[in-house]
A and B are shown apart, each in its own frame.
Chain A
Amino acid sequence: MINKIATSIAEALTGIEDGATVLIGGFGTAGIPGELIDGLIDQGARELTVVNNNAGNGDTGLAALLKAGRVRKVICSFPRQADSHVFDALYRSGQLELELVPQGNLAERLRAAGAGIGAFFTPTGFGTELAKNPDGSPKETRMINGKAYVLEYPIFGDVALIKAERGDRWGNLTYRKAARNFGPVMATAAKRTIASVYELAELGGFDPEAVVTPGIHVSAVVRIPRVATQAGGFKTTA
């Protein structure tokens, strides 16, 4: 029998090792798996590489993980936010490595990891500073049918932490509104994907046409109490 439902966050997060690459879903306020990030802080893994669109805001969630000194490197597209002071301080003091990736390249590199693509040529970033490797050397480029492209490689995760809306014991998932964002693609890109859900469904309790992430991509589903997503990470007045 397949039962991916974990009875606790701690149980779902067992086995995350020091040095792991952790893909964390979410864009701005939506889809951040805050409870799983808190669980990762309790779990204790260190020297992590974190992949997220942002780099934490306020003092909770990803910012708290950074503040606890557990992250060595962040791969993201937009670290600077109105209240990203934890990241800002660690980055400025040289305690945190940053790999800045255009948002669409970030999504596609994750997709490539999950889809078995060895590397891909993308027009995004051609001719810019982000078409360089971290050591400053240029990334491989190619002209294809008169258009310029940069070669980008997949981003594999050891584990993905994502926030979904509803799941079943096979790991099938649905999401809520724009909280879907990176969840489905990160789920495919990690060796082990852990999803928090607000509701558990019986097998067959989902409309199969509506499942967004098929359970094959999910290792553990853990139910959390529903709380409304909070504001944050943006300037309230222009």
Chain B
Amino acid sequence: MSYTRRTKDELARRVAQDIHDGAYVNLGIGQPTLVANHLPPGIEVVLHSENGILGMGPAPAPGEEDYDLINAGKQPVTLLPGGVYFHHADSFAMMRGGHLDICVLGAFQVSATGDLANWSTGEAGSIPAVGGAMDLAIGAKQTWVMMDLLTKKGESKVVPQCTYPLTGIGCVKRIYSDLATLACTPQGLQLIDKVDGLGHAELEKLLGLPVAV
């Protein structure tokens, strides 16, 4: 049987479906920011940006940019009515203190038990940069990863053990991917859903890992 991968927007919509009304959410740099475009109508979600914003709104209209009001990716954003500013130590205390409900991040690799590698490929000679990745990984009540299941070479990004430098240990609760949604548990992977036409055995073969139903 054949199957079709979720597009980036379909994946963003899939993540957005699981965000509850009233949630405080941090969307990581890159693909996770797309989730904001797909939040179901009628629910209110407060977006956190680690540089000191709660209630972050969409990008401003061209010509309206204010570079004192930027997101963690340093791109201009807006503030919704009710939004607030605070300093960096408060912002990370909010995160580390477990006050955010959900954090959605990209990843290079995730282990079956939820170890995350997303800050460095460990390549020799590259300039290391971590930003808030390690704080985000362990900070929210739930950390979700959003990524393609396979690398461009077809290797699984879900692994028994991360080979890239770790961002955090046992911190990822769910993996939302182009082929399947998986829960990471201390016992390993558990299936939440998969795209139509993708067999269970085939998914396990792609991953090289067992997936409990």
Binds A, one of B87-95, B172-180, B182-190: B87-95
- Secondary structure of the A contact surface, majority rule: loop
A101 partner residues in chain B, CB cutoff 8 A: 130
Please classify how large the interface on chain B is, using the bins under 10, 10 to 19, 20 to 34, 35 or more.
35 or more
Task: Give the distance in Å from the alpha carbon of A125 to the alpha carbon of B136 in the complex.
Answer: 10
Q: Are A103 and B67 in contact (CB under 8 A)?
A: no
Query: When A77-B131, A230-B67 are in contact, do A182 and B165 touch as well, CB less than 8 Å?
Result: no
A125 CB to closest chain B CB (Å) equals 5
Binds B, one of A3-11, A105-113, A199-207: A105-113
Q: Are A103 and B92 in contact (CB under 8 A)?
A: yes
Bitwise, B59-92 to A at CB < 8 A (1) or not (0) is 0000001111110011110010000011111011
A86 CB to closest chain B CB (Å) equals 12
- Secondary structure of the B contact surface, majority rule: loop
B74 partner residues in chain A, CB cutoff 8 A: 27-29, 81, 232-234
Q: Are B67 and A104 in contact (CB under 8 A)?
A: no
Binds A, one of B16-24, B47-55, B146-154, B196-204: B47-55
Q: Are A78 and B131 in contact (CB under 8 A)?
A: yes
Bitwise, A89-106 to B at CB < 8 A (1) or not (0) is 001100000101111111
A108 partner residues in chain B, CB cutoff 8 A: 89, 92-93, 96
- Select one of A30, A77, A122, A238 contacting B96, CB under 8 A: A122
Q: Are A88 and B127 in contact (CB under 8 A)?
A: yes
Which residues 164-202 of A sit at the B interface, judged by CB distance below 8 A? 175-185
Q: A130 at interface (Cβ–Cβ under 8 A)?
A: yes
B87 partner residues in chain A, CB cutoff 8 A: 107, 180-185, 212
Q: B167 at interface (Cβ–Cβ under 8 A)?
A: yes
Task: Give the distance in Å from the alpha carbon of A111 to the alpha carbon of B65 in the complex.
Answer: 31
B168 partner residues in chain A, CB cutoff 8 A: 126-128
Q: B128 at interface (Cβ–Cβ under 8 A)?
A: yes
A88 partner residues in chain B, CB cutoff 8 A: 127
- Select one of B51, B79, B130, B138 contacting A27, CB under 8 A: B51
Which residues 1-47 of A sit at the B interface, judged by CB distance below 8 A? 27-31
Query: When A100-B128, A104-B135, A130-B134 are in contact, do A27 and B88 touch as well, CB less than 8 Å?
Result: yes
Q: B43 at interface (Cβ–Cβ under 8 A)?
A: no
Q: Are B85 and A177 in contact (CB under 8 A)?
A: yes
Q: Are B96 and A123 in contact (CB under 8 A)?
A: yes
Q: Are A103 and B132 in contact (CB under 8 A)?
A: yes
For the complex of A and B, 7 pairs with smallest distance between CB atoms: A104-B92, A104-B135, A28-B74, A234-B74, A229-B67, A80-B129, A107-B88
27 residue pairs of the A-B complex, CB under 8 angstroms, read A27-B51, A28-B51, A28-B74, A80-B127, A100-B129, A100-B130, A102-B135, A103-B50, A103-B88, A103-B92, A108-B93, A110-B89, A122-B96, A123-B96, A123-B138, A128-B166, A129-B120, A130-B130, A177-B69, A177-B79, A178-B53, A180-B86, A185-B88, A229-B66, A231-B65, A231-B67, A234-B75
Residues of B at under 8 Å CB distance from A? 30, 49-53, 65-70, 73-76, 79, 85-89, 91-93, 95-96, 120, 125, 127-135, 138-139, 165-169
Q: Knowing that A77-B132, A181-B52, A183-B87 are A-B contacts, what are 10 other residue pairs whose CB atoms are under 8 Å apart, sorted by A's residue number?
A: A28-B74, A79-B127, A91-B127, A100-B128, A104-B135, A107-B89, A128-B166, A182-B88, A229-B68, A231-B65
